[in-house]
Amino acid sequence: MNSWIEIPKNSDFSIHNLPFGIFSANSNPKRVGIAIGSNIIDLVACNDLDIFKDLGINNKILENDFLNDFIGLGKNNTKKVREIIQMHLTDDSSPIKTNTSAIISMNEAELHLPVKVGDYTDFYSSIEHASNIGSMFRDPSNPLLPNWRHLPVGYHGRASSIIVSGVDIHRPIGQIMPPDADKPVFSSSKRMDFELEMGYIIGKNSSLGSCIKTDDADNYIFGKVLFNDWSARDIQKWEYVPLGPFLGKSFASSISPWVVTIEALENFRVAGPIQNPEVLDYLKFNGLKNYDINLSVSILPEKTNIETIVCESNFKYMYWNMNQQIAHHTINGCNLNIGDMMASGTISGKSEDSYGSMLELSWGGKKNIELNDGSSRTFIDDYDSVIMRGYCEKDNIRVGFGEVKSKLLPSI
């Protein structure tokens, strides 16, 4: 497919992608847009041109603070919107081409949190990450807990502190148990970390008491975003037994602003790792359920403004896939709602440069990570920005996620 709109080479937002997001520009209220190259297609303006007349979409759904109402139109309609825009962007006679209000430069727009997140669940689905953590803190010869290979471990996180790329965060404060101390101290976190994850957004409601099968789970996934699940390792270490993470995780999670639809990722499906032992029947699945998504993490110190890539990983490494996560999440009758967000858990690969957190890269603070400006890190310093990027590429087709970027500021 060739588009009449200029698309920079190696743009994440190719004609094959067309992700959805929420933006504002030119004093207009927030609204639904589609990213293409360095521009945004304003779907309110497109609706005014009667491009979606056969779908009967009300402008109140498109002129909106969040995507939730749009997602609520159902996959049949949201897929058609994307396909209609794709068709118009490859048609020289499209009215979009001559309508100046329908195409907005990204440089002139502000991007916003794409969905109103009702509930957020974080999983722990990378066997490499879980093994690294188990080796570091428990038994290197037997790093996984007995349940890990039998179910997708997860916990319910804090939805209110999920923020969009570009929103900076402050170093959290809490209780920390210093090494060799006999009582905790109240302190700013000394071990601030990123966690390289991907999130996905639920696109369909389920009813309380029902279960979603792995074969039907794709129908409940609207799309995916990059997800930086910030972590205060020292606060988390002291608090997490027996009920899991709390203050060490709930202060912020950053996501990318453009939601890449599951349909745009269809050509990048791959097989996941072999699961051994065999899973229980409700977790069995058919077909390719992992995705070949290249991921990277960079640290950008404010003082030097010199970026260093510290991690290069891939979403295909995930042991537990999204379909299994949804099946497990709902097997007890828990209902899902449009806009709920699920996160993968830290995505680590087998090589040391593919570890998805500073905890692993520095091996608990024992190893310095050298940056391109001559400085080094074991964890994240104040005024460091963490930048995560992700893209798929196959047969000269690129579908990307842009980036999620946030700066760590000192404690308030």
Q: Would you tell me which CATH number, out of the four given (3.90.850.10, 3.40.50.300, 3.40.190.10, 3.20.19.10), belongs to the domain 120-409?
A: 3.90.850.10
pLDDT of 242 reads 93
Q: Comparing C-alpha atoms, which of 353, 355, 348 is closest to residue 319?
A: 348
129 is catalytic: yes
Beta carbons of 21 and 262 less than 8 angstroms apart: no
Q: How does pLDDT run across 182-209, given as a tens digit for each residue?
A: 999 999 999 999 999 999 999 999 999 9
d(CA 360, CA 274): 24
Q: What is the pTM of this model?
A: 0.97
Domain ranges of the chain: 20-112, 120-409
- Over residues 140-160, the pLDDT tens digits come to 999 999 999 999 999 999 999
**pLDDT value, residue 1:** 85
State the pLDDT at residue 136. 95
Active-site choice (129, 156, 328, 329): 129
The contacts of residue 344 (CB under 8 Å, 6+ apart) are: 123, 125, 126, 197, 198, 199, 227, 315, 318, 322
- 128's enclosing H/E stretch is helix 127-137
The whole-angstrom separation of Cα 345 and Cα 276 is 20
Q: Which CATH class is domain 20-112?
A: mainly beta
Phi and psi, residue 161, nearest 5°: -105, 15
Token pair listed for 248: 């060490």
Query: What are the pLDDT digits (tens) for 367-411?
Result: 999 999 999 999 999 999 999 999 999 999 999 999 999 999 999
3-state secondary structure 330-381: HCCCCCCCCCCEEECCCCCCCCHHHCCEHHHHCCCCCCCEECCCCCEECCCC
Instruction: Retrieve residue 141's tokens.
Output: 């010869």
